[in-house]
Amino acid sequence: MGTSRRDIVSVLCLSLLLTGSLAAQVGGSRLQMGNHSIEVHVLNQSGAPLNIPVRVEILSAAGLHMAEAYSNREQGVTDFDGFGDGTFLVRVTGPEIEPVTQSFTLGGTEGNHREYVQVKLKDTDSGSKVSSEDDPKVSAQDLAVPAKARAEFDKGMEAYAKGDDKAAQKALERAIELYPSYVKAHNNLGVLYQNAGLTAKAVVEYSKAVEFNPKFAPGYVNLAKMSIAGGNLAEAEAELKKALAADPGTVNGMLLLCSTQFARKEYPDALATARRVHQLTKEAQHADVHLISADILIAQGKAKEAVSEYQIFILERPGDPRSEKVKSMIAQLSAR
């Protein structure tokens, strides 16, 4: 369960918040990300969170691809950040569902937008359904969760998907009472506490999650975000390194580490982390790492290399509304 809904900092906006610049400032110009985040909640025919990972894409109103990710299995949610005002399309596809596309609008003071997409499973008469017990990636720790505790967890995630955070919180608290070492319940309860402004209680829950499962990377990432909120970047960096040690493929943790290293002016380390992100994924939703890389390179006086990063960003996100600004910055850097 992510924290983008009311995240204290957006992963990709961290350097903007902490250093005053996300992309390079050239001749007084600044490239900024939009201030809207999007939560796409994928629901099944009954209105419950879909427990099958599906592909979720955000498109421009004209159908240009802007971002994509896969929904998580706990509550069928996908998070996106950095969007400006406008009308967009969300498209949900997957081998086990009928494809769905619907439009939505961002604007005004709406910081976070929740979009609910109901999908229909294919071959529903066959009774085939993906469950956590059938998933080979599910840990033995998950399988050890008692049925009653799991039922409360599912109830909490369904309430969360419907926007009822108080009911979700109570259900997760009951799940933990029934099974005190329920890692995902501790983590998700921490997110709900954090969203409610109960930061001390959130830290306790995140800490319990990684205590019960030292390889649970999301818990370390959430602890890092709390440290950043408290202004302790060194502590945040340590937590993020634990997350990557637990799961080297944690792209969001890697992005946050890159931004944290950049904010601490650890430029060589930040650039190395950015390179790792690019090696792991070239998905459009992670293309903003090239904006951070460009910031780093300009700070090091490497304008030509920064231009290359901007060019890669345009290639990976051709329909991004910031493309014209990026091109303008390329022209300014190239003219030096």
CA 62 centroid distance within chain:
25
Query: Count H helices, E strands: the chain?
Result: 13, 9
How many angstroms separate the CA atoms of 210 and 14, rounded? 24
Cβ atoms 133, 149 nearer than 8 A? no
Q: Quick one: pLDDT at residue 45?
A: 84
* Residue with the larger pLDDT of the pair 176 and 84: 176
Highest mean pLDDT among 47-56, 102-111, 139-148, 204-213: 204-213
pLDDT tens, position by position, 158-181: 887 677 889 999 999 999 999 999
Q: Closest by alpha carbon to 238, among 250, 251, 253?
A: 253
How many angstroms separate the CA atoms of 18 and 292, rounded? 13
Highest mean pLDDT among 52-61, 91-100, 133-142: 91-100
How many angstroms separate the CA atoms of 61 and 235, rounded? 42
Q: Quick one: pLDDT at residue 138?
A: 44
How many angstroms separate the CA atoms of 160 and 278, rounded? 33
- Long-range pairs of 233-237 with CB within 8 A, sequence gap ≥ 24: 233/18, 233/260, 233/263, 233/264, 234/264, 236/260, 237/261, 237/264
Checking if the pLDDT of 19 tops 60, the result is no
Domains along the sequence of the chain with CATH: 34-120 (2.60.40.10)
- Long-range pairs of 198-203 with CB within 8 A, sequence gap ≥ 24: 199/226, 199/229, 202/226
30-39, 130-139, 140-149: segment of lowest average pLDDT: 130-139
pLDDT tens, position by position, 211-266: 999 999 989 999 999 999 899 999 999 999 999 999 888 888 888 999 899 899 99
Highest mean pLDDT among 64-78, 276-290, 319-333: 319-333
How many angstroms separate the CA atoms of 267 and 259, rounded? 10
To which H or E segment does residue 38 belong?
strand 36-43
* Residue with the larger pLDDT of the pair 214 and 51: 214
Highest mean pLDDT among 222-236, 271-285, 322-336: 222-236
Residues sharing a CB contact under 8 Å with residue 316, sequence separation 6 or more, in sequence order: 282, 284, 287, 290
Token match 């650890």: residue? 266
